[in-house]
Every structure is written in structure tokens, then in C-alpha cells.
Amino acid sequence: MLNLIIFIPLLAAFAVLLGAPARKSALAAAAAGLVISLFALFSYDASKAGFQFASSTPVVPEWDLKFLLAADGLSLVMLLLTNLVTLAAVWITPLVEKRENIFYACLLFITAGAAGAFASQDLFFFYAFHELALIPTFLLIGLWGSGQRHAAAWKITIYLALGSFILLIGLVDLYNALPAGVRTFDMIKLQQLASAHVIPEASQTRPYLLLLVGFGILISLFPFHSWAPTAYASAPTPAAMLHAGVLKKFGLYGLIRLAVPLLPAGAQHWSWLLLTLLVGNVIYVGLATIAQKKLDMTLGYSSVMHMGYIFLGIAAFNLVGVTGAAVLMFAHGLSIAALFAMAGHLRKFSPSLAYETMGGLGKPMPFLGAAFGMAAFASIGLPGFANFSSEILVFFGAFKPAFTPEAGSYQLATAFALWGVVISAVYMLRAYRAIFLGGVRKDSTDWVDPIFSLRLPVILLLATLMITGFFPGGIVNLVKPSIEALLPK
Amino acid sequence: MDPHLPWFILLNPLVTAALIHFLLRRSPGWSAVLSTASACVGLLTAFGIWFSGFPTQPIEVPWLDFSPSFRLPIGITIDALSKVMLLVVTGIGALIHIYSTVYMARDEAKSRFFGNLSLFMFSMLGIVLANNFGMMFIFWELVGVSSYLLIGHWFTRDSAAAAANKAFITNRIGDFGFMLGILIVWNATGSLIFSEIAANLGALTGLGTGWVTAAALLVFCGAVGKSAQMPLHVWLPDAMEGPTPVSALIHAATMVAAGVYMLARVYFLIGASLDAQLVIQWIGVITAVFAALMATQQDDIKRILAYSTLSQLGYMVCAVGLAAPNAAMFHLFTHAFFKALLFLGAGAIIHHLHHEQNIWKMGGLSGRMKVTFWTFLAGYLALIGCPFFSGFYSKDLILMAAWHQNGLVFVLALFTAFLTAFYMTRLVVVVFLGQARSNEASHGHDGPGAMSLPLVILAALSVVAGYGTESYFEHAFQGLPAHEHAGVVPWLAIGAFLLGSALSFVIYQGRAKDPIVIRLFKNKFYFDELYAALIAGTHDLLAQISSWFDKWVLDGIIVRGLSGSAWGAGFMLRFLQVGNLQAYSFLFGIGAVALIYFVVLVK
């Protein structure tokens, strides 16, 4: 089943490159992916928890390197996120004027790479699948982007290449930190080894730092974040949706899946660093968000800012906080994808997306006004959407962290994060007001809502957010046992 | 009692709101009917709950459950406090729905209005029923959203959009403290459930008085935002940009009272810190005095009532700080009726004067709008504390608490009573007596039955609500300090009300423009200007700085430095100069894959 989730988009991508009808194949692959990931979700036996749907093909037996796919609750939620956003992103893709087949193939490669990274339980493939997804992202921005696309593409390439490189060194360092006899690429085995405390505490600090910085750059951890807003602003809409919504979660997923459970002593050692930087994400980047004058930049910055909350939940290192962080990854992915999708529609009328070119659009665009309002409210953490229920878990988790000697600094960081809730209300409501409220501009008479079929992807994302927001129990209980297994006893 | 009743009363408006927003967007008539019917059914259910005793089992469903470390259920409290609050919210809610069917009859977004009104009812009832901090916070935020939507109902007006944003953001500042307080309480007691916290309060007090005071004051921050106390009061007057029924329901009778209700609900926490109580009584009484001073110089009929609301909320908050939550709830109860009445009366005037809100363009309306006038008079007398009207009794109880606890607070509270009589008499004299001062004012007339009926009902309640209810609120709380009745207090209150109204009558009788001009009061003590400067000076400036830093330092120096540095000088730079993104990306991928093999092989 997991093989299908990875190889359907991969094969579809090659088929598209070889001349299959691009949009139709991509849509079919995305829809199939969503159906299969939903099917996997419902056939997952929650009473047994743990990894299921495992399949393993040895690749280099000497190093215990194999193509190992398996999914627990956490992986399944990430796969669902991947396929939901993919479907929405492919669906919403406007007419591509040049090299349509390569464009759609890139989208499908990103999907396959992200799905592969979330389903692989082998270090090598975990890393390699992410690389597979990154490269088409650069291409999409560089070739089909808008504005200063070349500069933006270079910046994201340099940053993420650097991040991947540091991550790679970190993974190698982690591998080498294991005693020689038990070295393995198998992440499930690694987890068992970590539970048995085979990685000496003293040798945990360096690999953790490397992983934190490596993953951190990929996640736009402050101060390595400045690639993100410009990249999202320049990226074509589906690429922004897929990267901000899904691919960026790879780094967070990696922290939860690898860095935290395998190197707990390292995590405790560097907790002050992570706390400081995440406050930078929430407060510094939050303030920078307020100063933005264009919608795409506001959304890009806000997405960087919200990473701070997820970091906080991970840093808390306890069941409540990390579960909150995992669910928040899902929620943030859906809400930012929905926001970028709607920004993409507005771009048809205002290519710059500058606030001064818009205003009063709630009147000519009632659907977009309502849907954007809902997505904005979701992203600033209002009850009724999954963002709230996960954010509140993060706050409670971080206020009583696992590392009791550091509790004071965690509580301080939580207080800062709570102030971030005020900041995000300021920039989101200002943006909303600038675009949709106020008098109708005379030059916006031909601005219209998206046609019905293009509303569906947004409705799909918002409905999922609302269902999981009103009834968070399902997704929380799916993720919780996986997190429980990952956290040190 | 049947546990289905409270679930029904809570979910009924949510279902209504969902039906209207998702299905009836294009049927305004049906939306109004459905929403109003649902509000009336809510009132009937509230009566059902009122008469059906108390639940024996906890009514609760899990929501976020990490037992034993963290538990946030959706749970329901039915006690004396929530029962009476259910009646107030659904009762006034139902009347205002009926009134709105006329007031909003020709509004082009009637469906949206009624959908949001139902959404508000859902949110407010959630606060009333919540049995824990987490659920209260959820509905607290939802009240903020629905208030935002209703204030901004006429969103094409820039002033309405600005007011909605201001209300939401100001409330969120209060919520910042509220959440922090909740976290501290939870951290110490390990629970969010009110009854469990109350039983385990020793875990918090054991940390020292500083923590208790901090927790109580932070939780109080939530009330400062929602009940618009100083210094977060600035949003409420601006919120009058919403349609008048919204002002009556949300910004007079229910939402703003939520802060006071919350304080009464968690009084076990407030009462545990004397320092916190001192701060709370002073914030309350200062809000009461300042808001009353501002009210004396406003010209917009709704703004006068808004400042009056601020001032009366100050009384209630002060009462909580004076260890008299029963008096606070009693005043909340009576105030809800007479202030809703005054707003709806003002709405009737505004409606028939084609949205004229300046009192100096009214005048002489007593003859032409008889029902409005007489009912407004009842509300007026209740508000200024005329004996035999409900407001007299509840205000008396607050003054009595102040008399016994804090002399200075008592004097200020008494002065506020004087000011209340002064500015309300000004309003009544200018609006209803004398000559019509505009063309519209000379053609005013009463509204149809659906508009007058709520006025009459609320007028009757404004008279009788003070009888027999005082002891009810006393019994709702246990262990409050008992005061002996000081006979002089009511006489002083009567003196203040007589003096204030007589003075005002003499000054304003027959005037066509305001003979008194006090800029400081008229300009609301320059709070808005101060905050604008403060926000521009700090938040926005910091925003500009961090944005600049990001663009030029982080981006400029680091990115450019990186690509030019020795690290990039090797293979990186070559590809940069080649400038072929595809080639680079491809090679990069190959390189990364090769590297891992290389490192592993060498080992």
C-alpha cells in the first residue's frame, strides 16, 4: 500500500514526461493517492499501534541498508497531508503555457518525494526521497516563478542545499555515534537501540546540533529563514502550496522522528538554543510579517513564524507538546496551502498582490471573502479549526516540559509564543481588511470569485481543517501512540 | 435533570448558524425566521433547565484527552449561576432576534447577519455552560470571532472594518494574559476543571502568594479585554459601528458581561488573593469614573450608551474586587435588561431617523415616539438608580460593599452614580424633550409591533428584575463576608442621583447645543491617540526594523557572503556562475546521494 502511495505519482510523473496528458494524469494520480492514503488510514489497526504495512527490500545488506517502508500514526497523518495538498495543488494549477508536462511532472515528483520521505523507515531513503522532492521545487520556482524568480530560486537553492548538506553530515555523525556492532540504517531498529540507551550521552550533542541546524534550515528556523518568504512569493501557486504545506514539514518530521527520540540527551543539552531561536521565529519574524506590504510576502513570513509553535511543541519533549506539534504540522500545512491557493486566484487580478492594489473585495468576491476569512482565522489559531486544538496542546505541553530543570525558560518561551498569537492576529486581520473590507475599488469591477470547480480544492482543505478542529480526538489519538513510542521512557 | 437539555441549548444555535451559512445564504427571509425561532426555542429550553433541578452526574464528553497529564473536556456546569445566566442570554437574545427582524429587514446581507447572530449565541452559551478553563477559553475566542463578524457586518464601511479589527486585537491582548493565567493554574493544580481546581487550590497557594496573585490577575486580564475595562476599554465605543441590535445584545447585555461572569465563576481563585482583589476593585472603579466622565461629553446616542456600559461594567468588576461577586452578578442581571432596553430604544430612534445618531439633531421625540419614550424612560430610571427600579437595588449592593471595604472606592463609586444621572438626564432631555432640531426628528414615529414588543417586555423587566433576586445571587455564593446594612448608603445614592439629574436638567433643558465643552472628556482622555502613538512607536517600528534587518542583513550579507565565501568557492560557485539551475540541481542530487555512499564506504 505504501509502495502505491509513492510509486503512483512517480510513475505518473514519468508517464507525463513521456507524453501522457499532463493535467489528467496528474489529477488521476493525486486522486488515487488521496484515496489510498485514506484507505491506509482507515485500515490502520489503532489498537495495535506501532508500524504497519511494512515492506522491506534489502539493498546493501552489509550496512543494513534496505528499502524499508512502514507507517505508524504519525507517518499516516503526514501522508494524508501530502495527498490532500497535492490534490488541491494539482487541481488549482492554472493553464501552464510553457512545458506543461515538465511542470506537472515536477509537482508529482515533489509528491512522490515527500510521500517517500514520510513512509521510509530507512535513513538513506528518508534522506534521498527528500532530495528527490527538493530539486523539482527549485525548478518550479526558477522556470515558472514570477517576480524576481531567479534570485528567489538561487536563494532557496543555496539555503536548502546547505541545510541538506549539514543534515547529511549530521546523519552520518549519528550513524557513527552508534557502537560499531549495531550500526544500521533501519530507523525502527535505531529507535529500539535508543530506547536501550546504546548511544552514549556524551556523543549525542554534536549530531543533535547538526541535525537541528540541518533540519532547521529546511524548516526556516530563525535566523536561517530568509529564503522562505521570497521563494513562496515567487513560486507558482501549486509549488508554494506543496512546499510550505508539505515539504517543509519534512524537517519537523525529521526532528520528531529522529533527532528527538534518538538523541534525547543532545536535545536537552541544546534546548536553550532551540528555545531562543524559536522565539526568534515567533516574535522577530512575526513582527517582520506585520511590516509586509504584499499578500504573498505576508503569507510567506507567517508560515515561517508558525514554525516557531511547532518547534516549541517539539522542544517540550513530552507527549502533549510533541503530539500538538505533529497535529499542528498537519493543520498548518492545510491552512497555508488554502491561503496560497486563494492568493493564487487574487494574483490573476493583481500580479503584485500589493495591498494597495486591492480593497473591498468581499463584495465582488463573496466566496473568496468567506473562505479566505476562514483560512485566516484557522491560521491564527481560532477554535473550530485544527490549528487551535494543536496549538493549545503545544502551549500546555511546553509549559510543563519534560526537562524539569529548564522549566522556567520553557515557560518564558511559551509566554513569548502566546504573545505571538496577538501578533498573528494583527497581521492577518490587517491583511484581510486591506484585501476584502472597506469600500469597493472602482478598478476592481471585473474581479470575480473563482468558478465553482476551482472552489472545491479550497473547500476540501477547509472542511478537513474544520472536521479535525471540531473533533480533534481522531487525529490526536492516531498520532499519540506513535509519539509515545518515540519519546524516551 | 435531563442531560440532553444543556446539550440541546448549546448545539441548537450552532446547527442554526451552520444551516444559515451553508444552505440559506440566498434566502434571507428563511434565515431570519430560522434564527429567530431557534433563539425562542433556546429561551424555552433555558426555562426547562431552570425548572428541572440540578444534574446528579457530570455532563461531559472528552475533547483533548491526555489523562492523567492533561484533560480538556467539553463539559457542562449547571448551577445557580449558569441557570440564571442562561435565562439572561437566551431571553435577551430572543427579544433581540425578534427586534432584528424589523431592524435588519432591508439589509442586503440579512442571512449573514442572522447566521452570525446564531453563531454568537452558540459561543456565548458555551461560556455560560463551561465547566473548565479550556472550554471557557475556546468559547471565549469564539465570542471574539462572532463579535468581529457582527461589528464588521457593514464591512464596506471603513470605520466598521477598523472597529472590528480593533475589538478583536484588543481582546486578544487580554486573552494573552488569560491563557497565561490558565497555564499557571493548570501547572500548579494539574487540572483545568473548575471544581477540581477549587478542591486542589492548595497546590497553587502553596507556591506562595505571588503565584496566586499572578494567576488571579492574569486570568483577570481576560475579563479586562472582554468586559472592556481600562486600559483595554478602547474597543467598545468603536464597536458601536455594528448594527444597533448587535450593540444591544453583545456590547451591552451579554458578551461584555462574560468577563464579569467568568470572574464570578472562578471567584474561588480571585478570592484567594487579597492583592489581586485590590487591583481588581481599583481597575473597576477607575473604569467606572473615567467612562462616566467621557459619557458626559459624547454626542452620538450609541456612544453615550457605550460609555455608560463601560462605566456599569466597572461597577461590576469593582464589586468582584470588593469580595461581592453576588453584587456583581446581581448588577449584571439587572443591567442586562435595562441596557438592552436603552440600546433597542436608541435603535428605534436611529432606525426611524434614517441612521441619524447625533443627539443634537434629535429633540422633541417624546410626543411622536410614545412607546419608545416611555420604555426608554423605564430603562433610564433603572440605570440612574431611581428607587423602586431594578438598578437601584443592584447598585446599592455594590455601594454597600464598597462602604464596608474601601472608603475611597466608595466615594468614587458614589461620584459615578452622580455622573450617571447627569449624562443620562442630558441624553433624555436632549433627545426627547424640547423642539425637533432636524427634519428627520420631526417625522419620527414608533416602530411596528415586533420592534415595540421587546421594548415593552424589557421595560417591565427593568422595573421588576430587582425584586426577590438579591437573595438568589447571595445563595449562589458561599463563604462571602457578611455586611450589616448601613442605612446611610441608599440615601447617599438617592442624593447623588437627584443631584445629578437635577443639575443636568437645569443645564440642558431647552438647549440646542452643548453649553459645556470639556475637550479632555470629549476626546476620551486621548486614549486612542496615545495607543496609536504607542503602537506606531513600538510594534510597528519593531516590525519595520525586523523587516529591514531581514532584507538587508540576513539576506544581503549572509546569502551574498555565503555564495562568495570560501565554502561556496569550490564546486558551488562554479555552478552559480554557470547559472544553469537544472544542471546544478541534477548534479546536486547526484552529489548528495554519492556522498552518503562515500562516507559510509570509507568507514
pLDDT tens readout for residues B148-199: 999 989 888 888 998 999 899 889 989 999 999 999 999 999 899 999 998 8
Is B568 part of the contact surface with chain A (CB cutoff 8 Å)? Answer: yes
Q: Is A437 helix (H, G, I), strand (E, B) or coil?
A: coil
Question: Are A437 and B138 a contacting pair at CB < 8 A?
Answer: no
- Contact criterion met (CB below 8 Å) for A341 and A325: no
pLDDT of residue B578: 42
pLDDT of residue A164: 87
Split into its structural domains, chain A has a count of 2
Give chain B's residues under pLDDT 70.
536, 553-603
pLDDT in tens, A141-170: 888 888 778 778 878 887 888 888 888 888
Point out the residue among A284, A388, A440 whose CB comes nearest to the CB of B156. Answer: A440
pLDDT of residue B260: 93
Do A286 and A403 lie in one domain? The reply is: yes
pTM attached to this predicted model: 0.91
Do A201 and A292 lie in one domain? The reply is: no
Question: Are A284 and B158 a contacting pair at CB < 8 A?
Answer: no
How many Å apart are CA A430 and CA A380, to the nearest integer?
A: 12
pLDDT of residue B584: 52
Point out the residue among B169, B563, B581 whose CB comes nearest to the CB of A142. Answer: B581
From the list B314, B126, B385, B350, the residue with the least C-alpha distance to B240 is B350
Is residue A458 pLDDT above 80, yes or no? yes
Do A94 and A243 lie in one domain? The reply is: yes
Name the more confident of B560 and A405.
A405
Residue that is last in its domain, among A211, A236, A269: A269
Q: Which residue of A has its CA nearest to B21?
A: A370
From the list A316, A321, A288, the residue with the least C-alpha distance to A302 is A288
Point out the residue among A143, A291, A414 whose CB comes nearest to the CB of B543. Answer: A291
Point out the residue among B179, B563, B589 whose CB comes nearest to the CB of A131. Answer: B589
Do A255 and A123 lie in one domain? The reply is: yes
* β-strand partners of A122: A186
pLDDT of residue B577: 42
Q: What is the mean pLDDT of residues A465-489?
A: 90
From the list B187, B264, B189, B186, the residue with the least C-alpha distance to B220 is B264
- Contact criterion met (CB below 8 Å) for B225 and B137: no
Do A279 and A264 lie in one domain? The reply is: no
Point out the residue among A127, A226, A284 whose CB comes nearest to the CB of B555. Answer: A226
How many Å apart are CA B410 and CA B403, to the nearest integer?
A: 5
How many Å apart are CA B79 and CA B85, to the nearest integer?
A: 10
- Contact criterion met (CB below 8 Å) for A234 and A148: yes
Instruction: Mutation target for B interface from A174, A309, A422, A477: give the one with most B CBs within 10 A.
Output: A422
Backbone angles phi, psi at A51, to 5 degrees: -85, 135
> Domain range for residue A120?
1-269
Residue that is last in its domain, among A253, A269, A285: A269
Is residue A73 pLDDT above 80, yes or no? yes
From the list B237, B364, B217, the residue with the least C-alpha distance to B298 is B237
Question: Are B593 and A171 a contacting pair at CB < 8 A?
Answer: no
pLDDT in tens, A20-64: 888 889 999 999 999 999 999 999 988 887 889 988 888 888 778
Do A35 and A50 lie in one domain? The reply is: yes
pLDDT in tens, A462-476: 999 999 999 999 899
Do A242 and A385 lie in one domain? The reply is: no
pLDDT of residue B602: 44
Residue that is last in its domain, among A242, A269, A296: A269
Do A219 and A341 lie in one domain? The reply is: no
* CB contact burial A444-473 (16+ within 10 A = b; e otherwise): beebebbeeeebebbebbbebbeebbeebb
Q: Is B76 helix (H, G, I), strand (E, B) or coil?
A: strand
Do A282 and A252 lie in one domain? The reply is: no
pLDDT in tens, A435-446: 998 888 777 778
DSSP letters along B148-195, please? Answer: HHHHTSSTTSHHHHHHHHHHHHHHHHHHHHHHHHHHHHHHHHS--BHH
Do A217 and A306 lie in one domain? The reply is: no
Point out the residue among A230, A287, A473 whose CB comes nearest to the CB of B546. Answer: A287
Question: Are B539 and A287 a contacting pair at CB < 8 A?
Answer: yes
- Contact criterion met (CB below 8 Å) for A156 and A214: no
Instruction: Mutation target for B interface from A283, A284, A328: give the one with most B CBs within 10 A.
Output: A284
pLDDT of residue B538: 75
Q: Is B299 helix (H, G, I), strand (E, B) or coil?
A: coil
How many alpha carbons lie under 13 Å from residue B595 in its C-beta half-sphere?
18
Instruction: Mutation target for B interface from A290, A437, A441, A483: give the one with most B CBs within 10 A.
Output: A437
Do A4 and A31 lie in one domain? The reply is: yes
Is B481 part of the contact surface with chain A (CB cutoff 8 Å)? Answer: no
How many Å apart are CA A270 and CA A170, to the nearest integer?
A: 15
Do A333 and A478 lie in one domain? The reply is: yes
Q: Which residue of A has its CA nearest to B550?
A: A226
pLDDT in tens, A199-250: 888 888 889 999 999 999 999 888 888 888 888 888 899 999 999 999 999 9
pLDDT of residue B596: 52
Distance from CA of A423 to the nearest CA of B (A): 9
- Residues of A in Cβ contact (< 8 Å) with B569: none
Question: Are B600 and A395 a contacting pair at CB < 8 A?
Answer: no
